Structure 1
Amino acid sequence: MENHLNQNKILLTGASGFIGGHIVEHLLRQGFAVRCLVRRQVQLPAPPNTQDLLETAVGDITEPSSLTEALSGVHTVVHLVGIIRETPRATFQRIHVEGTGNLLAAATRAGVKRFFYMSGLGARPKARSRYHQTKWEAEELVRASGLQYVIFRPSVVFGPGDGFVSMLVDLVTRGPIIPIVGNGRTPMQPVWIGDLVQAVEKTLTSPELWNQTWEIGGPNQLSFEEMIDTVAEVLGIRKPKLHIPIPVMRPAALMLQFLTPNPPITLDQLIMLQEPNICDPQTLPEKFGIDPVGFRDGLLRYLRQD
């Protein structure tokens, strides 16, 4: 089994991100040979006794000529690169659509067999947010590539090092009140990072899961306010809450986008906070054989670490 995994080398993009870091560590522990695409040469961490399975290749999905060498001898691409807010040089169009197109074209030329793409729940044609629009456009490129493919659309992913729960913790712990954007009723389905990582591994070793798009969510469908309440309860914090109407948030988000390079919330994120982000909760247990971790149980695993 280990020799087979070594022969089927993986090129993984997005290794420095929250999801990518967890996936790389897990795959190495399971004996997969992983080459990580990095924009500059760095020494990536690896679990004990797995360093010989880990490589890095310098390249950038926005620079097609840099991808040829990185894809040499690669059997499967695991493409995780994505952004949640734009900068002048890194727009949704450039990263999600053009970058994925560049990688697909280079992978096809290099003889890559399979392409895994991490999209997002809510990706669809004519979506309101540019994030979801461009994720859908990238999905369409993947499906039309002629390669064996699989597409994951996870709901919000949480776990050690995430950005989502970290944002909720910040809302709960800062100031005398807890601000809630809008009515707080938008349902979401947070998925534990460990469950998502296991689903990725299962996919890589299960041909029957390929050439499909999978919507991935945890076992709990919770409103945004319910998630805030759960974080506060786990942290032992009790404070009053204040709902901030969307019409008030919209001009504030627009102004912050122009005044700061890293605004706390963007107009695109404001749109997504108003849209349900849920799917079939039986996908992980029935299709991937995973007993998913609930939101509160997952929080207890790392927010209360001594």
Structure 2
Amino acid sequence: MQNLVTVFGGSGFIGTQVVRQLAKAGWRIRVAVRNPNLGYAMRLHGDVGQIDVIQANIRNEASVRRAVEGATAVVNLVGVLFEQGRQGFQAVHVMGARNVAEAARDAGVTQLIQMSALGADINSPSKYARSKAEAEAAVRDAFPGAVIVRPSVVFGQDDGFFNKFAQMAALSPVLPLIGGGRTRFQPVFVGDVAKAIARMTTDPAAAGETYELGGPADFSFRRLMEIVLEETGRRRMLLPIPFGAAGALGAVGDIVAMVLPPPITSDQLELLKTDNVVSGAYLGLADLGVTPTTLESVLPTYLYRYRRGGQYADQEARAVAGGQA
């Protein structure tokens, strides 16, 4: 079956945009997700019959093999930011990625793209970062020509970073600056990541390469929190918290993670001790012909909903000013 790409995790934040870009490029797409009933809207991102949604769990080898059957290309975007039940770092990142790579190899897939992360390091104190590095090794062992993608923090309308802190700013008088807020990030727009991945699927020169994807500028964590406050029109205290003292927050987050998405975990605290910016040692967006989108041009398009008055905040402010005149 020619011109078919299987996308694992295609209904997620990044996956939705990747599917949209692949559809624009003319691919027939098989979106493989754990819960197909939650991905019903995916078919709307392409023409009639262009996108199919099937059930697959990358922890289940048989379901993975069914999902890649007949595919020309495979994209694995599945990942977790914290461990919960069976969705652990080793099970999802390492074992799952290995299952996908071995199935892709055995199915004769031409191009395999594996989503990793900036900071992937086998020697990292973070279990997340170690598991991402182990996943890269497992994938390359089974499928040497696999393309590895390492993005920095990915931003966009449904992101889990800026939305989380904007919501926190709407509810709390304080925003914590873990480690003093000195950790640096290079946020990359989800649309740019999706374009890059779509181009990798048809670029033979990408085979076996590692790409580090970052935006046009890097920011300290403190500056990112200041931007969130500026965009949401909130005045909040930015409270520096040393890593040692933040350990208690991480411990509470570990407990919360058993049942709910936590504010932060102890493992995520470890990640914050290392800058999350591109090293310059690998290929990037420019090598794929993608011009990185600025943070400032996108954040206002969705953080407005956290302002008092939402999208009408500016109108309300003008009305108040007019009443006082």
Q: TM-score with structure 2 length normalisation?
A: 0.86
How many residue pairs match? The answer is 301
SS at structure 2 position matched to 1:180:
strand
Greater displacement, 270-279 / 282-291: 282-291
SS at structure 1 position matched to 2:42:
coil
Choose which of 149, 163, 166 in structure 2 pairs with 1:166.
163
Greater displacement, 86-95 / 196-205: 196-205
The answer to whether the Cα contact below 8 Å between 1:38 and 1:59 also exists between their aligned partners in 2 is: yes
Provide Cα deviations, 1:217-270, integer angstroms capped at 9, x if missing partner: 001110001001111112222233212222222123213322552221111111
Match of 1:272 in 2: 271
Aligned-residue offset at 1:283: 5.3
Residue 185 of structure 2 corresponds to residue 196 of structure 1: no
Change in CA separation of 1:49 and 1:18 when aligned onto 2, cut-off 3 Å? closer
Match of 1:261 in 2: 259
SS at structure 1 position matched to 2:180:
coil
Choose which of 85, 88, 91 in structure 2 pairs with 1:88.
85
The answer to whether the Cα contact below 8 Å between 1:113 and 1:147 also exists between their aligned partners in 2 is: no
Residue 278 of structure 2 corresponds to residue 297 of structure 1: no
Task: Write 1 or 2 for the structure with the bigger share of helix.
Answer: 2
Aligned-residue offset at 1:33: 0.9
Letter aligned with residue 293 of structure 1 = T
Structure 2: 5+ residue stretches without partners: 306-310, 312-325
SS at structure 2 position matched to 1:234:
helix
Aligned-residue offset at 1:300: 2.1
Letter aligned with residue 268 of structure 1 = D
SS at structure 1 position matched to 2:118:
coil
In the TM superposition, structure 1's runs of 4+ consecutive aligned residues that sit over 4 Å from their partners are 280-285
Match of 2:308 in 1: none
SS at structure 2 position matched to 1:194:
helix
Letter aligned with residue 10 of structure 2 = A
Letter aligned with residue 269 of structure 1 = Q
Aligned-residue offset at 1:285: 5.4
Greater displacement, 31-40 / 88-97: 31-40
* CA RMSD across the alignment: 2.0
Aligned-residue offset at 1:193: 0.8
Letter aligned with residue 82 of structure 1 = G
Letter aligned with residue 172 of structure 2 = G
Residue 51 of structure 2 corresponds to residue 59 of structure 1: no
Match of 1:223 in 2: 220
Change in CA separation of 1:77 and 1:128 when aligned onto 2, cut-off 3 Å? same
The answer to whether the Cα contact below 8 Å between 2:179 and 2:242 also exists between their aligned partners in 1 is: yes
Residue 36 of structure 2 corresponds to residue 70 of structure 1: no
Say which one has the larger Rg: 2
Match of 1:9 in 2: 4
- % identical equivalent positions: 34
Residue 110 of structure 2 corresponds to residue 131 of structure 1: no
